[in-house]
Amino acid sequence: MDAEELIRRYEAGERDFSGVRIDGGSLEGADLPGIILRDAMLYREDLQRANLEGAVLDNARLDLADLTGINLENASLVGVNLDETLLEGANLRNADLRGARLFQTGFMDADLRGASLE
pLDDT digits (tens, 9 = 90+) for 85-109: 999 999 999 999 999 999 999 999 9
Reference 72, options 95, 89, 49, 43; nearest CA is 95
Helix ranges restricted to H, 1-118:
3-11
Residues 6+ away with beta carbon under 8 Å from 26:
3, 45, 46
92-to-8, 23, 27, 89, 116 alpha-carbon distances in Å: 26, 25, 18, 9, 10
pLDDT digits (tens, 9 = 90+) for 17-62: 999 999 877 999 999 999 999 999 999 999 999 999 999 999 999 9
Report pTM.
0.94
d(CA 30, CA 46): 10
Neighbours of 111 (CB within 10 A): 17
